[in-house]
Amino acid sequence: MADAVLEVAHLQKFYGDVAAVRDLNFRIEPGEVFGFLGPNGAGKTTLLRILSTLLSPNAGSVRLWNENVVECKERLRPRKSAGAPQRRRVLNATDLNRAGSAVQS
């Protein structure tokens, strides 16, 4: 069997006495599509932060292509992030009129 793309074993993360992730185990094989579903407070965001090395687990392991994410986090993190900067701006009537004119053209 080929190495898993991602393997999580006995992962746990606590905030004080509250368990955000408790004894989580799963394996994603090459070519599989995988998603995280659950109600608010189920630990999805905490898990994604652990997987992306932004947060360390209290226990368990995370292996990406057979490398320990916690031990190798500095090497696995991208040096620069890709993405568009977000600017917040309030639109006024002139902006809306311009947008409408562009759509009609």
CA–CA separation, 77 vs 85, rounded Å? 19
CA–CA separation, 96 vs 88, rounded Å? 16
Spell out the domains of the chain, with CATH numbers in brackets. 6-76 (3.40.50.300)
Residue among 73, 74, 49 at smallest CA distance from 63: 73
pLDDT tens string 77-91: 665 555 555 555 565
pLDDT tens string 4-39: 999 999 999 999 999 999 999 999 999 999 899 999
pLDDT tens string 45-78: 999 999 988 899 999 999 988 889 888 777 766 6
